[in-house]
Amino acid sequence: MRIHDIDTIRTADRVRARATVTWENVPRPATEVFIETTREQEEGFAARPESFLTGCLIPAMHFGEKRVAVEGNVCPVLLENLASVMALMRHWSDGAMQPLSIEPEGLYAGTATDGTSGRTPQTGMVYSGGIDSIATLRSNMLRYPANHPGRIRECFFIHGFDIGGVVARGMKYPVFERGLLAMKTVTDAAGTTQVPVYTNIRHLCDDRDLWLNYFFGAVLAAAGHAFSGRIDRFAIASSYDIDNLVPCGSHPMLDPWYSGLDLLVEHKDAHLRRIDKLKITSDWEPAFQNLRVCLANVKDRLNCGICEKCVRTMTGLVAIGALHRTRAFVEDDVTPEMFSGFRITIRHREPFYKELLPLLEERGRLDLADVIRQKLAE
């Protein structure tokens, strides 16, 4: 694979960092990949080789490319770290993905680290409006003083993941805009800047298993590197807690290896169980009224109330006695019949349900505890 023609394109309202990906060992067409934001948010944003190398490495391994040649100078810290990423991919894939050679044109010496760069250190995060990202944002607010450099100041909402991530399902820009509007209430309450980001890097390979098990954290980090002239730390909320870790596209053994000298990528709050995150969310009213967990992207609702993620989240809120307090769901209760449309044993969801059982039983919701046990046994 060659990553070349890296440059920046500006229009009246957008700024795009783009590159051309040319495959060398597999018969795939050359592709333009991009990361884009609004002109209003372009401060510190640039077309950086680190972004495209980070975002394209795992598809290159997946398709069996022998190398990734990158135009421009690349941070040697990132190059060193990506060796560990490739080793982890090889291990998780049982050898199906093999490490390859990374060949930059040169090495990037880095920015000044002695305080002479003139930039105040700043922290950003991926904010999707879901339980994981809400818990990370709220926990950060409670842990860090307002003037601390570790306090989150930038919330990046990324198009090209659950919204616009699969070509066949369409780009759904109106759904993305609706999500931005709902989440602005939360980001404003947190005193953060909401930054819309658009990328098509996922489209290098639309294989769902690759995306979920290996790839999506790399694309999050790629977006972070594009803004490394503006942020120094980039937080990615945990998907699983420490006791229930499995190979995943975002993982505490993976995300930090996407760091370079100018950007520290952090995997946050892996000590929190999903039920802990639900409690944190339900105690913060702006987020609790605007949480967005659903991937269905239905019209006129943030959450469909039917899919597995919606029913699981609503059941958790029933377990802590909070579902009736949020307008993020039209429904104010969960019935056993709502579990009939899906399996709960896909993609390592079992721990999320098992931790609800004692809480549901304490509240006398044996109907829900029983159906969860039945579904777990299927």
Tell me the C-alpha distance between 222 and 374, whole Å.
41
- Quick one: pLDDT at residue 268? 98
Residue 111 has what pLDDT?
Answer: 65
φ/ψ of residue 19, rounded to 5: -155, 160
Q: How far apart are CA 198 and CA 128, in angstroms?
A: 13
Which pLDDT value is given to residue 1? 98
Nearest to 243 by CA among 85, 355, 166, 138: 355
Q: Which residues pair with 20 in a beta bridge?
A: 4, 32
Cβ–Cβ under 8 Å, residues 345 and 370:
no
Answer for the pair 355, 339: CB distance below 8 angstroms, yes or no. Answer: no
Contact in structure between 98 and 83 (CB atoms under 8 Å): no
Residues with Cβ within 8 Å of residue 173, at least 6 apart in sequence: 159, 164
State the pTM of this model.
Answer: 0.95
Q: In whole angstroms, what is the distance from residue 220 CA to residue 256 CA?
A: 12
pLDDT for 48 equals 98
* Per-residue model confidence (pLDDT) at position 118: 60
**pLDDT score recorded for residue 298:** 79
The Cβ-side half-sphere exposure at 378, using a 13 Å CA radius, reads 14
Torsion of CA 36, 38, 44, 48, to 10 degrees: 10
Predicted pLDDT of residue 317: 98
- Here the tokens at position 202 are 């996922």
Domains of the chain (ranges plus CATH)?
Answer: 2-107 (no CATH), 123-268 (3.40.50), 293-377 (no CATH)
pLDDT digit string (tens) for the chain, length 378 residues: 999 999 999 999 999 999 999 999 999 999 999 999 999 999 999 999 999 999 999 999 999 999 999 999 999 999 999 999 999 999 999 999 999 999 999 999 876 444 445 667 899 999 999 999 999 999 999 999 999 999 999 999 999 988 877 777 777 888 889 889 989 999 999 999 999 999 999 999 989 999 999 999 999 999 999 999 999 999 999 999 999 999 999 999 999 999 999 999 999 999 999 999 999 999 999 999 999 999 887 777 889 999 999 999 999 999 999 999 999 999 999 999 999 999 999 889 999 999 999 999 999 999 999 999 999 998
Contact indicator for 73, 105 with CB cutoff of 8 Å: yes
269-303: b (≥16 Cβ within 10 Å) or e: bbebbbbebbbbbbebebbbebbbbbbebeeebbb
